[in-house]
Structure 1
Amino acid sequence: MPDPSTIRAVECSPPCWMVRLALEEKGLDHECKLLSFTAGEHKSPEMLAKNPRGTVPVLMDGNIVVYETLAILDYLEYAYPQPALLPNTHALRALALTRLHEANNLKQVGMALFSYLMNTKAIDLDPGEVDHLGSFLHDELFFWEYYYGIGQFAAGSTISLADLAVFAYVATAAHLGLELEERYPNLYAFCQRMKERPSVLATWPSVWKQTPYSYLTAGPE
């Protein structure tokens, strides 16, 4: 077994969360060093020496440094192939990889909305802007609701890296008030299955309050 991996992460960041989920799913010993986004710790000299772009997550596996979320997930699957988080048949592997990269669309609309809510004081929040940004999220969720109606997971009956990516963004949106059960029953069922996994229980953001926010409760129809 190699030296334990270390991941530098900002808690509640969906990209950081999906990497932590992958490490847990693979049963890899690791240390997660949480950084303060507001204090700019992700752009400290130490971090910039590892990742000149100043983004997180950053994975250090011994002397190996990997940044960019999909690169980290790809590296973990290559370096530690068991248990596998990509199917071993050509067709299902192709589907899982497609869904994993397709989740970048979910990232773009989700992070635009999440960033607005995170960086805007509550008193300054514009409901119209929240609805506007939320409409793009709803348009994207339409695809994933369909995908998770086909199978329990993104690529068949077994969890893959794609599911970790989707869950991180959808669970974050749900915490911000997105109501899944009636409008997105397939995604709701998927998230309920994920919440029972030890990897999710071990990495659930400790700073999240028990009751979700209501920012996205009344989304556009």
Structure 2
Amino acid sequence: MILHGYWRSGASYRVRIALALKGVGYDLAAHDLRKGEQKTPDYLALNPQGMVPALQDGDRVLVQSPAILEWLEETHPAPPLLPSAPDDRAVVRAMCALIGCDIHPLNNLRVLKALRADFGADQAAIDAWAAGWIAPGFDALQALVARHGAGWCFGDAPTLADCYLIPQLYSARRFNMDLSPWPGLLAIEAQALDHPAFHAAHPDRQPDAD
């Protein structure tokens, strides 16, 4: 497999975590988003949206991290990253969507560039914008974790929800957020940092990292 990604991309980060948790090997094809390398003709031929990640498996090219993660769960079921009971799977998917739909898209690189170019936002305004979306999402997620977690977001083993959470915490620090109001989420992060799969997937440990 070839993972097309970028070291600091949150969506790429969540796929790296899942690949590592499942022990699936891959080669990395790095695309520096700051230089627009995701918009080259060769990459657009693979992913017409010109975004990362994309996972190439032979002639198959999968795009959009939620679809990639669900495909990995279906094709590489061990260890499972979704619970067995339908109600529990719905809870984990809701946690994933809380981050993947309601937080992450509003603080990704495309949005930040638009805020700077179209509205003249400086870094302080960017930080405030990001925090305005991250904070209420973390409030809701921490309440769900308190209800369903037992060391991880759901239960006592990593799930897809943790694949989403850890990159979003990393991103929040880039916006200079004080994360002390969410000790439940920080406790999960502390456990993840000691886990070899999360350790290997960390942005700072990627070959294309600054």
TM superposition score normalised by structure 1: 0.81
Matched residue SS, 2:28: strand
Output aligned runs, 1:157-176, within 5 Å: 157-176=156-175
Which residue of the partner structure matches residue 55 of structure 1? 51
Q: CA deviation at 1:7?
A: 0.3
> Taking structure 1 as reference, are residues 61 and 112 closer, same or farther at Cα in structure 2, changes over 3 Å only?
closer
Q: Which moved more, 1:132-141 or 1:80-89?
A: 132-141
Give aligned pairs, total: 201
Tell me which of 74, 91, 104 is aligned to 1:107.
Answer: 104
Work out the CA distance in 2 between the residues paired with 1:61 and 1:95. Answer: 29
Match for residue 190 of structure 1? 188
Percent of counterpart pairs with the same letter?
23
Paired position in structure 2 for 1:10: 6
Structure 1 residues 62-211: aligned runs within 5 Å:
62-103=58-99, 104-111=101-108, 115=112, 125-150=122-147, 151=149, 152-180=151-179, 182-206=180-204
In structure 2, runs of 5+ residues without a counterpart are none
Shift of 1:179: 2.4
The alpha-carbon deviation at position 9 of structure 1 amounts to 0.2
The Cα of 1:6 is off from its aligned counterpart by: 0.8
Distance 1:94 1:139, change over 3 A: closer
> Are the structure 2 counterparts of residues 109 and 118 from structure 1 closer, same or farther at C-alpha, using a change threshold of 3 Å?
closer
The 10-residue stretch of structure 1 (95-104 or 38-47) with the greater mean CA deviation from structure 2: 95-104
Contact persistence 1:110–1:173 (CA under 8 A): no
TM-score, scaled relative to structure 2? 0.85
Deviation at 1:154, TM superposition (A): 2.6
Match in the other structure for 1:217? none
Unaligned residue ranges in structure 1 (runs of 5+): 209-221
Deviation string 1:17-47 (CA, Å, 9 cap, x unpaired) is 0001110000011111211112221111111
Change (3 A) 1:39 1:112: closer
User: Which of 30, 33, 39 lines up with 2:29 in the alignment?
Assistant: 33
The alignment yields a C-alpha RMSD, in angstroms, of 2.6
